[in-house]
A and B are shown apart, each in its own frame.
Chain A
Amino acid sequence: MRRSGYFYAQLAFTLLVCAFLIVPVFMSIIAGLTENFFIGVKSGLTLRWIGVVWDLYAPTILRSMYIALATLAVTSFVGVPTAYVLAKRPGLVTRLIEEFLVLPVAIPGLAIALALIITYGGFRDFRTSWLFILVGHVLYTLPFMVRSVLAVLSSFDFLVLEESAASLGAGFWRRFFGIVIPNARSGIIAGALTVVTLSIGEFNLTWMLHTPETMTLPVGLADSYASMRLEIGSAYTLVFFVMITPLLIALQRYGMQRTKTRKAA
């Protein structure tokens, strides 16, 4: 097949854009693995900097993980029932609640953090614990869980499924866990992956909310860039990539599967 010159121009442009985005990532990875970035790769490749990062920042990595999991737990526990209620009683009031829930996404993270500090900063134990960061993360990620579950619940008539389960003798909790949750599963999983991904990478809010004792990975990353050798910062970034990439791939694949099954149904 003959292609026009226009096609090749487009291809070249696309590749150029990709390179523009990917090369820095690649450079950063190389930087984290070379002995001395200023001399270049010929100074030798090493895992030494990753070791240094682990020694210096292991707690921030672990903390980011458990904050992400705790955020997931809270958003699931609160978000799924919220989405259920919103879907079950559509009306002006529920629309308003939905809008309120989404507000934290629209407001800059710094402003939310500031509001939290002004309001709750006085409770010292709370202010200095990781729970303070958890609150910020929940505020920020909750709408993503609610929206995701709500979208699935709106895509099929779950009310009539509940009614038929009720006619067969099932009480509320049995219907909720046996019928509603399993059929909303795809939305819950997609929401969960989004929540974990956002929480692990969250910087804006966390930077304001953290104390030296409650530093998370992204905040630690900023810290290392500001005060350590470039190789350490880069090795740290590499660790972040390793954590976040599987999540992003899972999110992508799951999203694709969902569109496929939706089309098939």
Chain B
Amino acid sequence: MNGDTRTSIRLVNCAKTFANGTRALERCSLEVAGGETMVFLGPSGCGKTTLLRVIAGLESPDSGGSVYFDDEDVTEMPIEQRNVGMVFQSYALFPNMNVEDNIAYGLKVHGVAPEKRAKRVDEMLQMMQIAELRERRITQLSGGQRQRVALARAIAVRPRVLLLDEPLTALDALLRERLRVEIDVLLHSLGITAAYVTHDQGEAMAIGDRVAVMNKGVIVQTGSPREIYYKPAHSFVADFIGTMNRVSGTLRDGALELPGGRIQWGQEGSGATQALFRPNDARIVPEAEAALRGVVEQQFFLGDRTRLHVSGVADGIVVVETTEHREFRVGEAIGLRVEGAALLRLRD
């Protein structure tokens, strides 16, 4: 049990084809640095859970693939010897044991002496703020409580790496938000290497030191949440994460010409081209200063901001978000500014 040293995870040429021929994971290599939280993000069926199970040792990679914890090759090692902590979407708590015994299970298996075991269980109960649940049966716990017990059980054995498979998906929105923050704090205070699978981009952005976006068994892009959000390298990433405006125009003299105006871009070349920008990268400005002009078609008040659907800027609707407090009128003419630096050009 060497949870205090920060173990890195390295996948080399890992692919997974199931017995029925389904290719769940295309060949990929990646490294999760020691102490880092890497989030695997993608729609269901994108291979993210398979990837996690390969790391865990619940699936073995197709031949030619290897899994390393630090410099140790664990490819052939079954999960029970890898010393990984795992948190499942369904929590997978043992219904035949109470909370305390669930948390103590891994310690017992590892042959930790009873006094040390009791001490560690106490520590875990304190850390997860569930001391009062000690004697409870699993069936008497709420979803959030189960999640805490599952985390406590996984961490109790001081695993080399912590693997979380959609740990918050089964919870309601409010609780999810709260636990998301708690897990983030927990992972970083433990300094443990973590691989976290989710389909929720908000969760990925909040928790990940880095995010690996996956689609159809392929890791499409890896980067910090900001890189993924502002510099998507691939149209799938751009469309999957947040809202992205996609406009078609003509590139001439370093500017992008759109039906609603011109944006100074500083790009080489000329001719028809596509550009993308985030709704919050379009600022509403007085018409005199505006580079682009459009007409409000719909407005949605979201509390902290207002989302507008604007026509006339490009073919189709452009989504704009503003923190202005005023109400907009449908049919109102507005001026917009989009900085050239916020425009993205993508390969498909």
Give residues in A with beta carbon < 8 Å to B. Answer: 156-157, 160-161, 163-171, 174, 179, 182-183, 185, 264-265
Contact = CB atoms under 8 A, between A and B. Distances in A.
Nearest to A159: B92
B153 A168 contact: yes
Contacts of A160: 88, 90, 92
9 contacts: A160-B92, A164-B153, A167-B84, A167-B85, A167-B86, A167-B163, A168-B106, A168-B154, A183-B96
Contacts of B58: 163, 166
B136 to A, nearest CB: 15
Interface string B102-139: 00011001100000000000000000000000000001
Contacts of A264: 139
Contacts of B83: 169
Contacts of B163: 167
Contacts of B109: 165, 168-170, 174
Interface string B68-96: 00000000001111011110101011111
Contacts of A179: 94, 96
A167 B195 CA distance: 14
B78 A163 contact: no
A156 B95 CA distance: 10
B86 A165 contact: no
A163 B86 contact: yes
Given A163-B58, A168-B106, A183 B139 contact: no
A214 B337 CA distance: 98
Contact of B80 (A161, A166, A183, A185): A166
B95 A163 contact: no
Counting chain B CB atoms within 10 Å of each CB, the highest count among A164, A168, A264, A265 belongs to A168
Contacts of A171: 80
Counting chain B CB atoms within 10 Å of each CB, the highest count among A169, A179, A182, A183 belongs to A169
Nearest to A265: B139
Contacts of B81: 169
B96 A164 contact: no
Given A167-B154, A168-B105, 19 more contacts: A157-B92, A161-B94, A166-B58, A167-B80, A167-B86, A168-B80, A168-B106, A168-B154, A168-B157, A169-B106, A169-B109, A170-B109, A171-B80, A174-B109, A179-B94, A182-B96, A183-B95, A185-B96, A264-B139
Contact of B88 (A164, A169, A174): A164
Contacts of B84: 167
B56 interface: yes
A164 B92 contact: yes
